[in-house]
Amino acid sequence: MKSKRVNEILLKSIEGYEDRRPYVEPFTYHPEGTMGHSESENIKEKVKRDKLAESLKEAIENAGIKDGMTISFHHHFRAGDKLVMMVVEILAEMGVKDLRIAASSLTSAHEELVEYIKSGVVTRIETSGIRGRLASEISEGILGKHPAVIRSHGGRARAICEGEIKIDIAFIAAPSSDCMGNANGVKGKSICGSMGYAKVDAEYADKVIVVTDTLVDYPNFPQSIPQTLVDYVVVVDEIGDSKGIMSGATRLTSNPKELLMAKRVSDVMLATGLFVDGFSMQTGSGGAALAVTRFVKDEAKKRNIKLSYALGGITKPMVDLLEEGLVDTLFDVQCFDLSAAESIGKNEKHVEISADFYANPFNKSAAVNKLDFVILSALEIDVDFNVNVISGSDGVIRAASGGHSDTAAMAKVSIVVAPLTRGRISTVIDKVTTVVTPGSTVDILVTDYGVTVNPRRKDLIEKFTKAGLPLITMEELRKISTRLLGTPKEIEFSDEVVAVVEYRDGSIIDVIRKRKQ
Amino acid sequence: MKSKRVNEILLKSIEGYEDRRPYVEPFTYHPEGTMGHSESENIKEKVKRDKLAESLKEAIENAGIKDGMTISFHHHFRAGDKLVMMVVEILAEMGVKDLRIAASSLTSAHEELVEYIKSGVVTRIETSGIRGRLASEISEGILGKHPAVIRSHGGRARAICEGEIKIDIAFIAAPSSDCMGNANGVKGKSICGSMGYAKVDAEYADKVIVVTDTLVDYPNFPQSIPQTLVDYVVVVDEIGDSKGIMSGATRLTSNPKELLMAKRVSDVMLATGLFVDGFSMQTGSGGAALAVTRFVKDEAKKRNIKLSYALGGITKPMVDLLEEGLVDTLFDVQCFDLSAAESIGKNEKHVEISADFYANPFNKSAAVNKLDFVILSALEIDVDFNVNVISGSDGVIRAASGGHSDTAAMAKVSIVVAPLTRGRISTVIDKVTTVVTPGSTVDILVTDYGVTVNPRRKDLIEKFTKAGLPLITMEELRKISTRLLGTPKEIEFSDEVVAVVEYRDGSIIDVIRKRKQ
């Protein structure tokens, strides 16, 4: 337009438009960073048509890194992740200090963070889990006045969506991406399958850097992370090792005790009356929990029924259910093995979901809200059914909160399966070292000694009695384990808090203290 | 837990935790509406496992409707929509007043809104387009001191994402939904295909009511609208008529003049040098624009090349491209015919996108940002290449802003195709009645009299001269149309503003005034 149609005087004459801006030029008001620069008369040359950065360092600089910022990571590569250490090393070289790492979880791939905590590059850790040397150092108080924050997967999604975690820069390890940042986990040199946790980070972070080792033609498909959320795309040699996805916690069992317990879980499920056409389930990690899926398959076939959906970290037995037509949909926030990662790329009913869709307690309903059954593991469970999945009986952090408390709270029937004793340690104790999942949300404990029902669930006790299940009370279990193992010496803790355990709703359910020397 | 692990005293001893809340019970802090009620000792009975409301009225009441609220609708059923009038009728019966309707567009299905404006139920209208009696009454000033607001599809997405439009209740006409609100447009009695505009409304609205005539088992697939965003699900007899999707603006042409212009557009595309493997395009509505796709198909085949993506309102010719392997991906914000609506439900590379992904100028890049070509229509175009697609030469509102200004701004080459004259009216004029798309973003005009290039695009003039295209200047076109039609009498307008035209960035590019009597 040679002469503009609208000016301030006109706008002032229209009610409600007094402070509005008249049009100037097509890109006058675009936010910084969304357009390129060009002096050409052809304004089309101002449009930024790729987001590739020369290097990870350049992308980090352009994203405006500052001391004290919060950077986020997702753990879909689990023990095979290479991105966290790659980024932290660059940040250390750049002299950045006082970072908060908000990771969906941390694994054995991240033990070297210890050095960066010692040097002050990283001063805060927020995560679902911590393992290995990093976990033991944190348990010893290496983080000083900023205790680690342990959140469930649903709780982390809630904290991000509600603004409690404000991510400055999200780093997305993407098995494939195009030049605009459309990324997924099903194509590329190293696939990880679902990118469910990263989806929430990308949506709420101020800046988003997609890091890939496989740059593909535009438009990449599917768009697990859409270009609308991505600031920079960086190509590196290797983002992770797919083999690391399948770590100890998700290996299938051939242990007879675990198989016995798994069979008992399926008997429990049958006796609830909820094992009917259209039921839903999640199994957590842990040998027995995973083995349950095999029994479920046999029973579903026998009864000629089909599950509506299976949820959670998805494993090969779940994929088998889908491929045999025994479940309608798999909702997958994270692939627990390569079979799952391959399946999600080719079966449309194997659906990638975000951590928000999975378990955020404050959205308008998450997938966990429709669960009939969840089968969970435990490091410790106490006589009030409180469960510890984060610390060992030695008081040292060693595992992850995961979706444990999210699914336990929402499933119609939550079942914890664990052996009564592991070596010289009793799983059932008077008071768990750390509470991750409150006992009021745990309905059933299945051990190698029988089925223990939470006294709140009189309905289940009645059903299980009728079905002739081998019921045993918590008190009886305690007696057996004491008889077998004696009474362990209580660990003494100092007052120093080394980690805070958030419940999914953001309240603080427990703290982890440093052990007395 | 019988005795809580954490209390306020402990939290006050941890830096940064002074104001945090200790855990109480599993659902203590859940936001209102996310959980159900139950006095049972079994807390699992507190979990809300469906969102079905008895009636639309009940859902509206539960959503907390109040005078002055903003309610939103999407127009994927176009002329076949039944939801807007269904909702407004109920609101009128309930005595609600002073509503703002924020629709992605309004069609001939919404003419009766006139009565509800007269009775004060509706006092504001924000939309991409308005047609028929509603348009003529608004042009006459029926909205009084609140002019209608015309936005492009990208501009509306921006306004919602940036909080300029705050939607109190979004009504989603969903061809299918499950009891938790997972909804899509590809299953059900009446399909509409993509639900691209509704996706943004659902994400940002305070309350979301999904209205369907086809309730399916949980979980519905795919999840165009995810349960995480939905408050209530209502089942009604009929939400819309699929036949209404294919309205006048999207019919395929057999008009020889339109086919000639379409052929000329494809010649122009070839001459730009951008018609190479991997190029991208969008065609708008309008006979000639749609016919271009057929010529593109022939030329792509001849050259053995493939498009990377086609964008926009998707039509059968685009679906044919996909099925013949001539385009990698269709990005679909809205299906313009039933063939498209059927295709999106069965071809994974026919991808549903939100209006945000389509064209929001303020996200980190929209699909329009990678366009090579867009082919657009025009009601009027002036000698400065400004385009009017909203009002007739009589000054009366009659059409829609759509994605016109969004795609024109971002495509490397934007081509307007229109006949020089329509009946006794010239398309090319000295000053368009209303500016929707600024001339600086329009590169080429193709008419039945030749190819007219924006003088800013010297690069194209050079290429087209070499290619021997029939170039003609705006001034020459003006001379021809004046010779043919004489100089039309100018319409006289009063000072009263009846509609405000927003540019995609939220600035005001023009206003529409009431005609003088």
Tokens of B183: 């909804």
- A175: in domain: yes
pLDDT at A245 over 90: no
Last residue of a domain, one of B244, B269, B288: B244
pLDDT at A156: 98
pLDDT at A251 over 90: no
B305 and B197 share one domain:
no
**Tens digits of residue pLDDT in A7-35:** 999 999 999 999 999 999 999 999 988 88
Full residue range of the structural domain in which residue B163 is found: 56-244
**Beta pairing, strands B99-103 & A183-184:** unpaired
Tokens of B465: 């001269």
Nearest-CB residue to B11 (from A370, A443, A508): A508
A126 and A255 share one domain:
no
Q: Is A73 helix (H, G, I), strand (E, B) or coil?
A: strand
Nearest-CB residue to B509 (from A23, A222, A366): A23
Taking the C-alpha atoms of residue B303 and residue A417, their distance in angstroms, rounded to an integer, is: 63
* Chain B residue with minimum CA distance to A162: B31
- A21: in domain: no
- B515: in domain: no
Beta bridge partners of B501: B150, B510
Tokens of A359: 């378990």
pLDDT at B119: 98
* Residue B11 contacts residue A496 (beta carbons within 8 Å): no
A105 and A144 share one domain:
yes
Output the CA torsion sign for A419, A421, A425, A429.
Answer: positive
CA angle A12, A15, A19 (to 5 degrees): 50
pLDDT at A284: 73
Taking the C-alpha atoms of residue B20 and residue B11, their distance in angstroms, rounded to an integer, is: 7
Tokens of A169: 């820069």
* Residue B389 contacts residue B436 (beta carbons within 8 Å): yes
**Tens digits of residue pLDDT in B87-99:** 999 999 999 999 9
pLDDT at B191: 97
Mean pLDDT of chain A: 95
Enumerate the residues of chain A whose CB falls inside 8 A of the CB of residue B227.
357, 364-367
Q: Per the CB < 8 Å rule, is B15 touching A411?
A: no
* Residue A442 contacts residue A387 (beta carbons within 8 Å): yes
Nearest-CB residue to A441 (from B26, B34, B510): B26
- B308: in domain: yes
Residues 6+ apart with CB under 8 A from A517: none
A279 and A159 share one domain:
no
Comparing C-alpha atoms, which of B145, B95, B96 is closest to residue B124? Answer: B145
- A43: in domain: no
Buried-state track A459-477, b at ≥16 Cβ within 10 A, e below 16 = bbbebbeeeebeebebeeb
| H or E segment and range at residue A289 | helix A287-303
* Residue B86 contacts residue B56 (beta carbons within 8 Å): yes
When pLDDT is cut at 50, 70 and 90, the band that residue A320 belongs to is very high
* Residue A508 contacts residue B20 (beta carbons within 8 Å): yes
Half-sphere exposure in the Cβ direction for A311 (13 Å, CA): 31
B281 and B194 share one domain:
no
Interface mutation vs chain B, best among A507, A510, A513, most B CBs within 10 Å: A507
B170 and B265 share one domain:
no
- Residue A495 burial (CB < 10 Å; 0-12/13-18/19+)? exposed
A60 and A136 share one domain:
yes
For residue A19, which amino acid is it? D
Taking the C-alpha atoms of residue A339 and residue B215, their distance in angstroms, rounded to an integer, is: 33
pLDDT at A60: 98
- B281: in domain: yes
Taking the C-alpha atoms of residue B22 and residue A513, their distance in angstroms, rounded to an integer, is: 17
| pLDDT above 70 coverage of chain A, percent | 98
Q: What is the pLDDT along chain B (517 residues), one digit of tens a residue?
A: 666 899 999 999 999 999 999 999 999 999 988 888 888 889 999 999 999 999 999 999 999 999 999 999 999 999 999 999 999 999 999 999 999 999 999 999 999 999 999 999 999 999 999 999 999 999 999 999 999 999 999 999 999 999 999 999 999 999 999 999 999 999 999 999 999 999 999 999 999 999 999 999 999 999 999 999 999 999 999 999 988 887 555 566 788 999 999 999 999 999 999 999 999 999 976 778 778 998 999 999 999 999 999 998 999 999 999 999 999 999 999 999 999 999 999 999 999 999 999 999 999 999 999 999 999 999 999 999 999 999 999 999 999 999 999 999 999 999 999 999 999 999 999 999 999 999 999 999 999 999 999 999 999 999 999 999 999 999 999 999 999 999 888 899 999 999 999 999 999 999 999 999 7
Enumerate the residues of chain B whose CB falls inside 8 A of the CB of residue A14.
147, 497, 500, 511
Half-sphere exposure in the Cβ direction for B412 (13 Å, CA): 16
B148 and B252 share one domain:
no
Comparing C-alpha atoms, which of B340, B351, B272 is closest to residue B309? Answer: B351
A421 and A481 share one domain:
yes
**Beta pairing, strands B183-184 & B176-177:** antiparallel
Neighbour tally for A279: CB within 10 Å: 22
pLDDT at B1: 64
Angle between helix axes B287-303 and B256-271 (nearest 10 degrees) is 50
Nearest-CB residue to A348 (from B22, B348, B441): B348
Enumerate the residues of chain A whose CB falls inside 8 A of the CB of residue B43.
440-441, 456
| CA–CA min distance B247, chain A (Å) | 30
A177 and A257 share one domain:
no
Q: Per the CB < 8 Å rule, is B409 touching A27?
A: yes
- A109: in domain: yes
Taking the C-alpha atoms of residue A471 and residue A461, their distance in angstroms, rounded to an integer, is: 8
CATH number for the domain that contains residue A129: 3.40.1080.10
Rounded to a whole number, what is the distance in angstroms from the first to the last CA of chain A? 78
pLDDT at B251: 61
Nearest-CB residue to B17 (from A278, A351, A508): A508
A259 and A145 share one domain:
no
Phi/psi at B157 (5° precision): -60, -45
Backbone dihedral region for residue B506 (phi beyond 0: left; psi -120 to 50: alpha; all else: beta): left
pLDDT at A1: 64
When pLDDT is cut at 50, 70 and 90, the band that residue A318 belongs to is very high
pLDDT at A2: 60
Would you list the DSSP string of A297-347? HHHHHHHT--EEEEEEEE-HHHHHHHHTTSEEEEEEEEESSHHHHHHHTT-
Neighbour tally for B8: CB within 10 Å: 13
Beginning with the edge strand found earlier in the chain, give each strand of the sheet holding B232-235 in spatial order. B232-235, B207-212, B169-174, B70-73, B99-103, B122-127, B148-150, B493-502, B508-515
pLDDT at A32: 87
Q: How many domains does chain B have?
A: 2
- A504: in domain: no
| CA–CA min distance B427, chain A (Å) | 17
A127 and A84 share one domain:
yes
Q: Per the CB < 8 Å rule, is B230 touching A23?
A: no
**Tens digits of residue pLDDT in A369-385:** 999 999 999 999 999 99
pLDDT at A352 over 60: yes
* Chain B residue with minimum CA distance to A232: B364
Enumerate the residues of chain A whose CB falls inside 8 A of the CB of residue B412.
44, 47
Residues 6+ apart with CB under 8 A from B490: none
pLDDT at A252 over 70: no
pTM of the model: 0.97
